[in-house]
Amino acid sequence: MNWLIVDEIIKKALLEDMPFGDVTTELLIDNDKISSVDLVQKEDGVVCGTEVFKRVFDKNGRSVEVYFKVEDGEFVKAGTVIGRVEGKSSELLSGERTALNLLQRMSGIATLTRLFCDKLSGTETKLLNTRKTTPGLRLLEKYATKVGGAVNHRYCLSDGILIKDNHIKAVGSIEKAVRKARRNMPFIRMIEVETETLDDVGEALNYGADIIMLDNMDVKTIKKALKIIDKKALTEVSGNVTLSNIRDIAETGVDYISTGYITHSFTSLDISMKNFKYIDDK
């Protein structure tokens, strides 16, 4: 994880939530004693974002320590106390929402991703994340999908060549696009081509695509495509992947299945801070 970026995200988030302070805490907490709260997970799910959670409190002052009893990637049952947060009451209370907003989202993504990955168990197929992430939070969301079991697709537009339908229309044909890309591209890259028909698949294969994306095809067509490709390129299925159909798709033997669902349509995992109490600090 690139912590320089994470720290920027956290700083922005704290400023967004406190552009001019925490009015309630400033009115109520004048004798700033050390207190502690428990961090309670209220739903079954995969914890993710523990280090990020800690760093929110680092940025929000210097007094708060967080003690986690779990690690990123652990599956935890509802009702479990997963950690304890301890420090000056004012820092603890004003940082709570920002820290939870991040932890809940990351855990929500990891939990949903785990569900998808569990469907793939026993197959060779791997789950891929996408660029359909929340603007500004991609680093954290890609990380959460990895914690949940997914593998990274390209991170962004800068690091992977993916020739999509609109690119193909812009250039004229799959053939022209692949050739043009091949000519000047960095040698460390592979060329992936999005295909919508079996003809596309054939053309992409012929002109040397390294990876062929089978977009929005049904299982039957996927099978035919894989037969055409015959392991001569890596394969990725994309489009309309759900918890109900992912197993069937995987059993075709495709190398990768990608879904934006795990980052654009997850729900936050319910985690909260409970049992506030003061600590005697001599």
Catalytic residues: 97, 132, 164, 194, 215
Name residues contacting a second copy, limited to 203-222 (CB under 8 A): 211
Among 41, 104, 195, 259, binds a second copy (CB under 8 A): 104
Is 72 near a second copy (CB under 8 A)?
A: no
Name residues contacting a second copy, limited to 243-262 (CB under 8 A): 255-256, 260
Among 59, 127, 174, 257, binds a second copy (CB under 8 A): 59
d(CA 55, CA 10): 8
Find, among 218, 276, 267, the residue nearest to 105 by Cα. 267
Specify the DSSP element, H or E, that contains 191: strand 191-195
Find the part of the chain contacting a second copy (CB under 8 A) among 2-10, 63-71, 74-82, 246-254. Answer: 2-10
Closer of 76 and 273 to a second copy (Cβ): 273
d(CA 230, CA 232): 5
d(CA 206, CA 208): 5
Write the interaction track for a second copy spanning residues 7-46; mark x where CB under 8 A is met and - where it is not. Answer: --xxxxxxxxxxxxxxxxx-xxx-----x-x---------
Closer of 76 and 99 to a second copy (Cβ): 99
152 contacts: CB under 8 Å, gap ≥ 6: 128, 129, 142, 145, 146
Size (the chain), residues: 282
Is 277 near a second copy (CB under 8 A)?
A: yes
First to last CA, the chain: 37
Is 282 near a second copy (CB under 8 A)?
A: no
